[in-house]
C-alpha cells in the first residue's frame, strides 16, 4: 500500500516568488492536512481539507492557501515568499475528517533565499 | 484552544536505562498521538491513545493516557541507540477541529553507549 507522497522533496526559491507543493494521500483517505515545521516554531497546523472543502485553517497569513481535488490530492501554495517561509512542509492523510490516525508524507523542504 | 507541552525537551540517556517523556495538554483532547521523527525525515506514527487508561506497547516503548490528569507518558525501557530520535506528542481537540493536530515541542532523545 503506497504511503503519502509529497512532491517535490526539495525546493529553493527566491524571495517574492511563489511556490506550489503537492500531496497525494493514501488511497481511500479523504482528509489531507498540511503542517509547517521550523526549528523555532515547531510543528504548526496550516489547513485541512476533506472532500474538496477546507474544514479548518491555522493562524497563517493569506499568502498560504491550498486546495483539494476530487481524487483527494491536495496542493498548497505560498505566494510572495519570505525568508521566514523556509521550512519543512508536511502533509498528513487520514481516512476521515479528524476521526482517525494521521499518516505523514516525507515532506517538502523549502528554502527561500 | 488546546495547548500541548512536553518535558523534558532534551533527554540524554545511557543504553540500558529507563526513562519517561511527559506530555501535558490544556483542555479536553479526544485522542493523543505519539510520533517519532529521525533527522531530516518525516513523522512516524507510534501510538494512538483513545480513552482514559489506555496503554499501548511496542518493543521498548510504552505509552499511556490519563485524561483526568490531561497527561500522557511515553516510557522507554532499556534504551538502545536505535531509539535516538525526536519524539512528539500531539492532541486532537475534537469537535470542529477536524484534522487539526496540536503538537508538543518535541523531545530530542539521544541514547549513548
| Of residues A4, A40, A36, A37, the one with CA closest to residue A22 | A4
Query: With an 8 Å Cβ cutoff, is A105 touching chain B?
Result: yes
Confidence of residue A97 (pLDDT cuts 50, 70, 90): low
pLDDT above 80: residue A111: yes
Q: What's the rounded Cα separation, in Å, for the pair A103 and B11?
A: 26
| Of residues B59, B28, B67, B33, the one with CA closest to residue B47 | B33
Query: With an 8 Å Cβ cutoff, is B23 touching chain A?
Result: no
Of B101, B104, B106, the CB nearest to A45: B101
Q: What is the pLDDT of residues A26-80, one digit of tens each?
A: 999 999 999 999 999 999 999 999 999 999 999 999 999 999 999 999 999 999 9
Confidence of residue A98 (pLDDT cuts 50, 70, 90): low
A97 to B88: CB separation less than 8 angstroms, yes or no: no
Q: What's the rounded Cα separation, in Å, for the pair B7 and B46?
A: 18
pLDDT above 60: residue A99: no
pLDDT tens for chain B, residues 1 to 113: 889 999 999 999 999 999 999 999 988 777 899 999 999 889 999 999 988 888 999 999 999 999 899 999 999 999 999 999 999 999 988 777 777 899 999 999 999 98
3-class secondary-structure state, position A17: coil
Give whole-number Cα distances, B19 to A1, B15, B77, B105, in Å. Answer: 35, 11, 7, 18
Tell me the pLDDT of chain A averaged across its residues. Answer: 94
Confidence of residue A1 (pLDDT cuts 50, 70, 90): low
Write down the pLDDT at residue B93. Answer: 80
Of A90, A94, A97, the CB nearest to B43: A90
Write down the pLDDT at residue B92. Answer: 86
A90 to B101: CB separation less than 8 angstroms, yes or no: no
Side-chain-side CA neighbours of A103 within 13 Å: the count stands at 18
| Of residues B97, B107, B88, B86, the one with CA closest to residue B27 | B97
Write down the pLDDT at residue A25. Answer: 96
Contact between B75 and B18 under an 8 Å Cβ cutoff? The reply is yes
Amino acid at each position: 500500500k503506497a504511503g503519502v507522497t509529497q512532491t517535490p522533496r526539495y525546493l529553493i526559491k527566491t524571495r517574492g516568488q511563489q511556490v506550489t507543493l503537492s500531496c497525494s494521500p493514501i488511497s481511500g483517505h479523504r482528509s489531507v492536512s498540511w503542517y509547517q515545521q521550523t526549528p523555532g516554531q515547531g510543528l504548526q497546523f496550516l489547513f485541512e481539507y476533506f472532500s474538496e472543502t477546507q474544514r479548518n485553517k491555522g493562524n497563517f497569513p493569506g499568502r498560504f492557501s491550498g486546495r483539494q481535488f476530487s481524487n483527494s490530492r491536495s496542493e498548497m501554495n505560498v505566494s510572495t515568499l519570505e525568508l521566514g517561509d523556509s521550512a519543512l512542509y508536511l502533509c498528513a492523510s487520514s481516512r476521515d475528517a479528524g476521526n482517525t490516525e494521521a499518516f505523514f508524507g516525507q515532506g517538502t523542504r523549502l528554502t527561500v533565499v | 484552544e488546546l495547548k500541548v507541552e512536553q518535558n523534558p525537551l532534551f533527554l540524554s540517556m545511557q543504553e540500558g536505562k529507563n526513562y519517561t517523556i511527559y506530555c501535558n495538554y490544556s483542555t479536553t483532547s479526544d485522542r493523543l498521538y505519539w510520533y517519532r521523527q529521525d533527522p531530516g525525515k518525516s513523522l512516524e506514527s507510534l501510538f494512538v491513545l483513545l480513552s482514559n487508561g489506555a496503554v499501548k506497547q511496542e518493543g521498548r516503548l510504552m505509552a499511556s493516557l490519563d485524561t483526568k490528569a490531561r497527561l500522557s507518558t511515553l516510557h522507554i525501557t532499556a534504551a538502545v541507540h536505535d531509539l535516538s530520535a525526536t519524539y512528539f506528542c500531539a492532541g486532537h481537540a475534537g469537535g470542529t477541529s477536524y484534522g487539526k493536530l496540536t503538537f508538543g515541542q518535541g523531545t530530542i532523545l539521544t541514547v549513548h553507549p
